[in-house]
Amino acid sequence: AQTVTQSQPEMSVQEAETVTLSCTYDTSESDYYLFWYKQPPSRQMILVIRQEAYKQQNATENRFSVNFQKAAKSFSLKISDSQLGDAAMYFCAYRSGDNNDMRFGAGTRLTVKP
Amino acid sequence: DTGVSQNPRHKITKRGQNVTFRCDPISEHNRLYWYRQTLGQGPEFLTYFQNEAQLEKSRLLSDRFSAERPKGSFSTLEIQRTEQGDSAMYLCASSLARYRGGEQYFGPGTRLTVT
């Protein structure tokens, strides 16, 4: 079964600095998708960034980028120029190409210090 | 596009009672998902619909849980004979089947407390 591990329960970053959130996953499949979702306090979860496993190029969305290491099964999220609004729970998620259930990690709570 | 909505947002019930939650997906989305999220954990998949057909069910979905999507639009999740272990946030998400790696859009969730 596919598992997703986020080894950092909490992280903090100074406003305007860069922070990296870690995620590893376990799978024997070659066709899959990886996601980072953000869940602000008492608000709904929104997609931050998505990576297709078949793409070698790391995905980037404005201040958010990933470091996708397929052989190492690692999928970290880098947030540059951190803003107060980035404070939230961040969940790494895996989805098989053929299935529809998404497997989530336990999350990392990010605090941004002014 | 008003996003995914869920009602009620909060539900407090006594152990043994039945509860029903509703999810209204984004209107053109044909896929609908239910997840359960307990405190300090990531969401766990419960079940998924494509149109009105329930295509996948997690082993987490015990016999006390039933989900429907009668006309391929809104969905309901019912929990019978609630137990304290059912206390959690129940999340609904929807997506378009067109894209295999498509984004799932999440609703705000229904927080269930069983006393």
pLDDT score of A60: 94
Percent of chain A exceeding pLDDT 70 equals 98
Inform me whether the C-beta atom of residue A52 falls under 8 Å from chain B C-beta atoms: yes
Contact call for B48 and A93, based on CB within 8 A: no
- Confidence band, pLDDT 50/70/90 cuts, at residue B102: confident
Contact call for A44 and B108, based on CB within 8 A: yes
Inform me whether the C-beta atom of residue A107 falls under 8 Å from chain B C-beta atoms: yes
Average pLDDT, chain B: 92
Round to the nearest angstrom and report the end-to-end CA distance of chain B: 36
Least confident among B32-41, B43-52, B97-106: B97-106
In one-letter notation, the amino acid at residue A114 is P
Q: Which residues of chain A have pLDDT under 70?
A: 1
DSSP string computed for A26-48: E-S-SSEEEEEEEE-TTS--EEE
At residue B82's C-alpha, the angle toward residues B54 and A103, to 5°, is 45
| Residue linked to tokens 């509860």 | B19
Contact call for A47 and B41, based on CB within 8 A: no
Provide the pairing of β-strand A60-61 with A108-113. Answer: unpaired
**Chain pair A-B, CB pairs under 8 angstroms:** 55
Q: Which of B4, B41, B51, B99 to mutate to test the interface with A (most CBs of A within 10 A)?
A: B41
Q: What's the Cα-to-Cα distance from A111 to each of A5, A46, A77, B20, B31, rounded to whole Å?
A: 20, 17, 15, 35, 34
- Confidence band, pLDDT 50/70/90 cuts, at residue B1: low
Provide the pairing of β-strand A88-96 with A32-39. Answer: antiparallel
Instruction: Report DSSP state, residue B102.
Output: P
Q: Helix or strand or coil: residue B40? A: coil
Give the number of C-alpha atoms closer than 13 A to the C-alpha of residue B51, restricted to the C-beta side: 2
B49, B93 contact by CB (below 8 A):
no
Average pLDDT value for residue range B92-98: 85
CA separation for the pair A25, A66 (Å, rounded):
14
- Confidence band, pLDDT 50/70/90 cuts, at residue B99: low
